[in-house]
Chains A and B, each alone.
Chain A
Amino acid sequence: SQTIHQWPATLVQPVGSPLSLECTVEGTSNPNLYWYRQAAGRGLQLLFYSVGIGQISSEVPQNLSASRPQDRQFILSSKKLLLSDSGFYLCAWSRGTRTGGYYNEQFFGPGTRLTVL
């Protein structure tokens, strides 16, 4: 079965500090990978998605970036955090396009709760 890991679970960072959140998936290969952010009491906002190693698409312009150095590893980074970067960051995976279809359910990791002070 597939498992998705995220760490850390919680993080408190000062404004202007760097950020690195990591996500790894087990039990599948060539997954699509996603980073979402959920602000308190709000819906999910897609930040980045990736269909393969080194392939990153950005949905929202911001001071965040993403990288996919390995097939099942997805990293979210920032050089300088802003107060507005606070939120619940969720990594998700879905079956890759070669095996997927319209029913492309996404499965989430446990998330990282980031507070920028």
Chain B
Amino acid sequence: RKEVEQDPGPFNVPEGATVAFNCTYSNSASQSFFWYRQDCRKEPKLLMSVYSSGNEDGRFTAQLNRASQYISLLIRDSKLSDSATYLCVVNIKGSNYQLIWGAGTKLIIKP
């Protein structure tokens, strides 16, 4: 089992739709969780850090379920500019350095 698994994608959705990404992680001792977005041929950029049970930032909502070792990202009212690959990232407890990266889910928003 991969340490961080994401939906393989791609997701093709119409503009304005709500999109949900799912991510599971294998290490129950993981302490912090992030969502990054990566545009084609660009560097990953931090989208959200996921705190305790979850948090919201505008159209974006991240949820964490520690019991199920599951993280989600919800994008409401999707825009064309949301098209990117979304990366789920997990920090390993006891390490301030090692982030485990999911392979990412590609999102394509269509007009």
Contact = CB atoms under 8 A, between A and B. Distances in A.
A102 B31 contact: yes
A21 interface: no
Interface of A: 32, 34, 42-44, 46, 49, 51, 57, 59, 88, 90, 94, 97, 100, 102-111, 113
Nearest to A6: B43
Contacts of A59: 98
Nearest to B88: A43
Contact of A102 (B32, B45, B46, B98): B32
Contacts of B74: none
Nearest to B98: A46
Given A102-B31, A104-B91, A43 B43 contact: no
A44 B31 contact: no
Contact of A100 (B46, B96, B99, B102): B96
Interface residues of B, number: 22
Contacts of A110: 42-43
A42 B103 contact: yes
A90 B49 contact: no
Nearest to B99: A106
A52 to B, nearest CB: 12
Contacts of B96: 32, 94, 97, 100, 102, 104
B10 to A, nearest CB: 12
15 contacts: A34-B97, A42-B103, A43-B87, A43-B104, A46-B99, A49-B97, A49-B98, A94-B96, A102-B93, A103-B49, A103-B51, A104-B91, A105-B34, A106-B46, A111-B42
